[in-house]
Chains A and B, each alone.
Chain A
């Protein structure tokens, strides 16, 4: 099967530190790939270069046949890659519903021309999106929060909403940066349930996570990263017992 995302010898340096060191990776369609590794391994940086928030020093990133390097972030998002941020990002002073509505793509009403010349079309689409948003929130089991301001929600709920936004964007590839870190077990359960259901619906996931337990449960494949390099790759059990991984974690 053709990989959804193909990362070819990517390099990224900050001043002195090498964050990504000739890093290559293929992400198969409809899979859930876990990325683990110590702090500062370059995991977040990998997401940042894939999504265009940081420029590459060298290398190539191909998504569905398109070369992403040098594409602005918003175009990469439109090409079908959504992400969450380790330092959670949402519009905290807007309601949950508005955050979801914001995340839909191809909205006629985002062009003023349509707002003024075709108000009917804009209204109709907005109504449809509202329905879709409510369905999505129901699917995730947080429909009762729709009207709340995001800043009033718990951290776990906010993480849930940022996943919901990625789904609303219609992206096929979702990059989740520590989706269950720092939240309570019942919330972790909820989020993992949602993630697990989605590859059937055609979604592909890459998940950075320190919670090994969670990674073991949802991922088909695990990558272990350290100092910007891929140290081990394989199914969850084998990576867990890989001597290099054990050694790195014992250090």
Chain B
């Protein structure tokens, strides 16, 4: 039972990550390979605040969202000058740099040793300790984020985002301030991703840089693409499939020594297969063609 709850919690975390990345990649057409850094920023902000200042859970979430959102703006701004794959490389650079900071600023982040002993959070006196408690909190956060995302993509704002994705020249000719949309969606996506990081840090109660690597970024992209870019429900589906699939391998009796590699191979192979044969994913609408 614990195990089942654990899987559900993980799915919840990846739903948040994938939906928030989908806003950036799937709706706005900005390929970002930096999403794990926002995830990491959320985790580190929460962990550091909880460990050093003993500040409450909700305050930490808000701090994480603000800081991550600011970083999101910094990553988003280059998209005004460089585009497509060059922009993707710029986000890659950002990802490497944030990882480098997490890994090397030892006095602050604990470096490769990470930050252990993150205390259990509490909301207005309700101590979140069991798997059940965590699942409920994550479920609520997922619903809030899905609701916000749904509102965004179905609003006139979302219509402009899609126009920016498909043809930004046309959007400009129709009076849309393309630059502000790009930066804003990065801020929003980054802020949301940090929420997943906060929850991860509290849930595992230990974080280290290896959870926020470039490979993690690629995994989140795979979820978005396999589920379907440009469809938030696709990301929910994608998160469920990509979390459950490798777990299924365990039940098929795969030794744990090769499980980690097999997991990655599955992600990678699915990414290749979908790009080749079904670039719109299960239920998406954007296929990265211009």
Binding site for B on A (CB under 8 A): 51, 53, 72-75, 77-78, 82-83, 85, 89-94, 98, 101-103, 105, 107-112, 115-116, 122, 126, 165, 169
Cβ-defined contact, B163 with A91, below 8 A: yes
Closest Cβ neighbor of B289 among chain A residues: A93
B156 interfacial contact with A, CB 8 Å: yes
Q: How far is the CB of A82 from chain B (nearest CB, A)?
A: 7
Given B159, B169, B184, which contacts A112 in the complex, CB threshold below 8 Å?
A: B184
Binding site for A on B (CB under 8 A): 148, 151-152, 155-157, 159-160, 162-163, 166-167, 169-178, 184, 285
Given A92, A108, A109, which contacts B166 in the complex, CB threshold below 8 Å?
A: A92
Closest Cβ neighbor of B160 among chain A residues: A110
Q: Within the assembled complex, what's the spacing in Å between the Cα atoms of A91 and B164?
A: 9
Cβ-defined contact, A78 with B166, below 8 A: no
Cβ-defined contact, B170 with A122, below 8 A: no
Known contacts A93-B166, A93-B285, A110-B160: A165-B155 contact under CB 8 Å: no
Given B151, B157, B159, B175, which contacts A101 in the complex, CB threshold below 8 Å?
A: B159
Q: Within the assembled complex, what's the spacing in Å between the Cα atoms of A89 and B285?
A: 20
Q: How far is the CB of A59 from chain B (nearest CB, A)?
A: 21
Cβ-defined contact, B163 with A115, below 8 A: no
Cβ-defined contact, A109 with B156, below 8 A: yes
Max chain B CB contacts within 10 Å: which of A101, A107, A169? A107
Known contacts A51-B173, A94-B166: A115-B285 contact under CB 8 Å: no
Max chain A CB contacts within 10 Å: which of B152, B159, B162, B184? B159
Contacts of A94 in B (CB 8 A): 159, 162-163, 166
Known contacts A101-B156, A122-B156: A77-B166 contact under CB 8 Å: no
Closest Cβ neighbor of B154 among chain A residues: A115
Contacts of A169 in B (CB 8 A): 174-175
Given B156, B162, B166, B173, which contacts A73 in the complex, CB threshold below 8 Å?
A: B173
Cβ-defined contact, B167 with A89, below 8 A: yes
Cβ-defined contact, A77 with B175, below 8 A: yes
Q: Within the assembled complex, what's the spacing in Å between the Cα atoms of A101 and B156?
A: 8
Q: Within the assembled complex, what's the spacing in Å between the Cα atoms of A110 and B156?
A: 5
Contacts of A91 in B (CB 8 A): 162-163, 166-167, 170
Give me the 4 closest cross-chain CB pairs, A-B, nearest first: A109-B156, A77-B175, A89-B170, A73-B172
Contacts of B156 in A (CB 8 A): 101-102, 107-110, 115, 122, 126
Given B157, B162, B171, B175, which contacts A105 in the complex, CB threshold below 8 Å?
A: B175
Knowing that A77-B175, A94-B162, A107-B156 are A-B contacts, what are 9 other residue pairs whose CB atoms are under 8 Å apart, sorted by A's residue number?
Answer: A53-B173, A74-B177, A77-B172, A77-B173, A82-B173, A101-B156, A102-B159, A109-B157, A169-B175
